[in-house]
Structure 1
Amino acid sequence: MAASAKRNEHPISMRLPEADIAMIDRAASLRGRSRTDFVRDAAVRAAEDVLMDYCLIRMSPESFADFMAVLSGPETPIAEMVELAQRPAPWEPGYVAK
């Protein structure tokens, strides 16, 4: 008899109001995802956002000085970014879809 493989997944159980479930199901359906996939992705994305807010970046004093010099130096325009900033927004008059 084959030994059972160790599962790398752990169940999470939540109690949610019916209105929350309906909203989650509707959004998951619009994305073509299952409720589980949709909730897992949303929870992981939210966790990553929080962790990135608290992420400590370490660098040597020399690297920090180089970093600050780049930030303090003259900006170099990027043609694509300038063009994008000058385009009308989709809700503004003159917008043309590309």
Structure 2
Amino acid sequence: MKHVRYSEWVVDGRGFRKANSEPVTQPGFFGAVASPLTTLLDDGHGEVNLSEDDWDRLTTWMDANALFYGTFDEADQARQLRGERIAGPSRE
């Protein structure tokens, strides 16, 4: 049997563990700080001017890896793709 080092067994070529582990992220390469949307809005995009509260909400949403659709319900996702509004989450 071929000998395989533990580090080769659990780590892929990019330095990430292969299973049961979240990848390690490097500051400045993930989330809002690395987002092209942040750069676009920060540099000025048409008439878009975000308040400090709007920036906080947007960057928190990006950094929290929020759901793209805002729901796991497939029927609600289909409604959103058609441009329809969906109900917000329940507060229960």
Q: TM-score range by the shorter chain?
A: under 0.3
Q: Which has the higher helix share?
A: 1
Q: Using CA pairs under 8 Å that are at least 6 residues apart, name the structure with larger relative contact order, 1 or 2.
A: 2
TM-score by length of 2: 0.23
